[in-house]
Structures are given as C-alpha cells and as structure tokens.
Amino acid sequence: MNQKSGNNLFLALGIFLGLTLLGVVLSKAAISIKEYERTVTVKGLSEREVLADLVIWPIQFSAASNDLKQLYESLDANAKSISSFLETNGINQKDISFASPSITDKSAQQWGNEGRAEFRYTARQNVTVYSKEIELVRQVMSKLSELGKQGIVLTAGDYQSQTEYIYANLNKIKPEMVEEATKNAREVANKFAEDSSSSLGKIKRASQGQFSISARDKNNPHIKKIRVVSTVEYYLSD
C-alpha cells in the first residue's frame, strides 16, 4: 500500500468515526431535550341554556270502522276538526300539515282460531304543527283535551307522535363558547403551573370537542343545554 492510499484510508476512517460520534451526540441531545420537555393537558368547559327556536308537534289520532269509505270520511272530519282547533287557538295555517293515513285491514291478519276483530279497518293519521312560536304551541298543547271531548281518539307513545324541540342557531354562539372553553382551560392550566412551581408556556396542541345539545330536564324539553369541552396541552417551564 503506497502513502497516498494510506492517507485516503485514514481520511475515510476519520470521517466515518466523526459522523458516528456526531450521531451519538445528537441522539443524546434529542433524548435530553425530550426528557426536559414538560407539558400539561387540561380540559375547558363551556355551557349555555337556551330556548328552542323550533317545535315539531305531531298530533296523532285514530279511527276504526267496518266500512272503508266511512273510515276515510271519519279521518277527514277529524283532521278538519283538529286544524280548526289549532287555528282557533292562534296557530298559523301555513304551520299545519297533514300526513297520509295508515290503514290496517284486520281481516288480512287473522291466523288460526283467533277471535274476530270488532272492526275490520283501523287507521292512524298525523296532523303536524311546525312552528317557531314555541310558547304559543305549548299553550295550545295544554288544551288538547278539548279534542277528546269532540270524540277524537288521540294516540301517543310511538316515535312518530313524539314532540321535538330544536335549537337551530348553534353557529351564532359557537365562537363565544369555544373562546370561553379555551379560557377555562387556561385558568385550570395556570392553577396547575402555580401549584407545581412552574410557568405556563405556549399551547403545544389543542382540540375542540363536539357540541352537544340536550333537554335541560324531562319536564322542560324546550329548554336546551348546550355544552362543549376543549382539550388544550400547554408547555411548562421552571
């Protein structure tokens, strides 16, 4: 091996050892930085109580007969009576809609030795109020027994007859609630930093939870509780 080749070999070996040493140093530095990086993760809550701004009120009624033509006439008469009752009590006609009746033929459902049904045909139909006048509609609901006194058979209990209260203006209050939740999270983080003799730094990462809307309680479904939880991770320093 001549002198030039020997010098090249030593140079290559030196570069290799230098890079290896640099990698070890950087690796240790990264580990050291990670060990000293301290953070705290906190949650901030924001809640609001608001009144629903839309009500969907289905009034379901039923009728029965052995004559199909008579059954439809009874349904039409009942639907008109309900519509008249609603309008008399201040509900706007444009807020009232009528669904097609659901007819059941009992004779087509007889199996084995089951007894004969009193009425061959039974029917259910919905008259639905879709309104922004929440308080007015609730007042009319309390007078619903007047329809029963007219001989109209009102039914309830299934999903189709459940009243819905909706809050449709969530986007108007979202920014304020997110700001409040973030502020609440920072207050919690500041208290943690204070208790641990640290200083609160910048935000490392943050995430906004889903907004939830629910009835405040079962007796006041028109009053909605809105809540959101934000999760924020802060840096800590001594």
- Please report the domains of the chain, with CATH numbers, ordered by start residue: 36-52+168-238 (3.30.110.170), 54-166 (3.30.70.2970)
C-alpha distances in Å from residue 120, one per residue of 3, 10, 71, 83: 115, 106, 10, 27
pLDDT digits 0-9 by tens, 68-98: 999 999 999 999 999 999 999 999 999 999 9
151: left (phi over 0), alpha (psi -120 to 50) or beta: left
Dihedral pair phi/psi, residue 65, rounded to 5°:
-165, 160
Tell me the percentage of the chain whose pLDDT exceeds 70: 79
More confident residue, 191 or 11: 191
Instruction: Identify whether the C-beta of residue 231 lies closer than 8 Å to the C-beta of residue 238.
Output: no
Inform me whether the pLDDT recorded for 5 exceeds 60. Answer: no
The pLDDT score that the predictor gives to residue 31 is 35
> What confidence tier does 10 reach under pLDDT thresholds 50, 70, 90?
low
Indicate the average pLDDT of the chain: 84
The pLDDT score that the predictor gives to residue 96 is 97
Inform me whether the pLDDT recorded for 33 exceeds 60. Answer: no
62: left (phi over 0), alpha (psi -120 to 50) or beta: beta
Q: What is the DSSP string of 183-200?
A: HHHHHHHHHHHHHTT-EE
The pLDDT score that the predictor gives to residue 23 is 47
Mean pLDDT of 131-145: 95
> What confidence tier does 196 reach under pLDDT thresholds 50, 70, 90?
confident
Q: Give the position of tokens 């289905």.
A: 58
Mean pLDDT of 125-137: 96
Tell me the percentage of the chain whose pLDDT exceeds 90: 62
Inform me whether the pLDDT recorded for 230 exceeds 70. Answer: yes
> What confidence tier does 6 reach under pLDDT thresholds 50, 70, 90?
low
Q: How many CA atoms lie within 13 A of 46 on its CB side?
A: 21
Quick one: which of 55, 57, 43, 50 has its CA closest to 214? 50
